[in-house]
């Protein structure tokens, strides 16, 4: 009886090697993800004005609020919290005289929008001290790599040892 191993001239060592490389690549690629909140741009925030409706505000920003900061049912006042991101000008310190720099994403800022019971915007304000500063993250998340390697060793290695002991 011919199996696909003999038909394609494969060996268990080659299959095992391919599996190890595949798992290793998936672990390394899976650890490169960085999460960030949904945010609006500074230009979108500059288009907002007092007196507009909540639905027009959400259409302008292109996102739903992150959370409701305060909902007072007696007065009908609700404060929504949105995030937007500033733009910064980065420069190289060695070439400050002729260097105009380049534009880069800055920190996240809270946009607090106060709305009345008719969903009309009453007040728009920003708060730079409301949230924690953005955490600096590296491209490679070493904790995820360690978790992946640990999982690979605790799951794959015993299976390979059992396989080799039966061969």
Q: What is the pLDDT of residues 81-115, one digit of tens each?
A: 888 888 777 766 665 566 667 777 778 888 888 89
pLDDT above 80: residue 46:
yes
Does residue 46 share a domain with residue 30? Answer: no
pLDDT above 80: residue 62:
yes
Does residue 78 share a domain with residue 129? Answer: yes
pLDDT at residue 33, rounded to an integer: 59
With 0.75 as the threshold, say if the pTM is over it: no
Query: Which one, of 73, 53, 69, lies nearest residue 61 by Cα?
Result: 53
Does residue 40 share a domain with residue 30? Answer: no
Does residue 80 share a domain with residue 19? Answer: no
pLDDT above 70: residue 44:
yes
Does residue 19 share a domain with residue 83? Answer: no
Does residue 94 share a domain with residue 57? Answer: yes
Does residue 167 share a domain with residue 101? Answer: no
Q: How confident is the model at residue 36 (pLDDT cuts 50, 70, 90)?
A: confident
Does residue 159 share a domain with residue 82? Answer: no
Q: Residue 36 class from Cβ within 10 Å (0-12 exposed, 13-18 middle, 19+ buried)?
A: exposed
Q: In the predicted model, what is the mean pLDDT of residues 24-48?
A: 76
DSSP string of the chain? ---HHHHTT--HHHHHHHHHHHHHHHHHHHTT-------EEHHHHHT--TT-BHHHHHHHHTS--SEEEEEETTTTEEEEEEEEEEEEEE--GGGTTT---EEEEEEEEEEEEEE-TTSBEEEEEEESSSSPPPPP--SS-HHHHHHHHHHIIIIIHHHHHHHHHH-
Does residue 41 share a domain with residue 122? Answer: yes
What percentage of the chain carries pLDDT values higher than 70?
71
Q: What total number of domains does the chain contain? A: 2
Q: In the predicted model, what is the mean pLDDT of residues 159-165?
A: 77
Does residue 108 share a domain with residue 53? Answer: yes
- Domain span at residue 132 reads 36-136
Top mean-pLDDT range of 10-14, 101-105, 140-144: 101-105
């Amino acid at each position: 009886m011919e199996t696909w191993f003999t038909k394609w001239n494969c060996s268990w060592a080659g299959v095992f090697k391919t599996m190890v490389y595949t798992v290793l690549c998936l672990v390394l690629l899976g650890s490169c993800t960085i999460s960030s909140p949904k945010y609006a741009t500074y230009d979108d925030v500059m288009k907002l004005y007092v007196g507009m409706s909540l639905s027009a505000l959400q259409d302008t920003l292109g996102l739903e609020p992150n959370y409701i900061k305060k909902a007072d049912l007696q007065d009908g006042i609700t404060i929504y919290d949105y995030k937007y991101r500033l733009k910064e000008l980065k420069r190289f310190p060695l070439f400050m005289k002729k260097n105009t720099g380049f534009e880069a994403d800055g920190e996240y800022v809270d946009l607090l929008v106060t709305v009345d019971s008719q969903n009309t915007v009453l007040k728009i304000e920003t708060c730079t001290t409301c949230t924690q500063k953005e955490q600096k993250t590296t491209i490679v998340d070493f904790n995820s790599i360690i978790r992946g390697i640990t999982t690979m060793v605790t799951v794959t290695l015993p299976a390979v040892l059992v396989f080799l002991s039966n061969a």
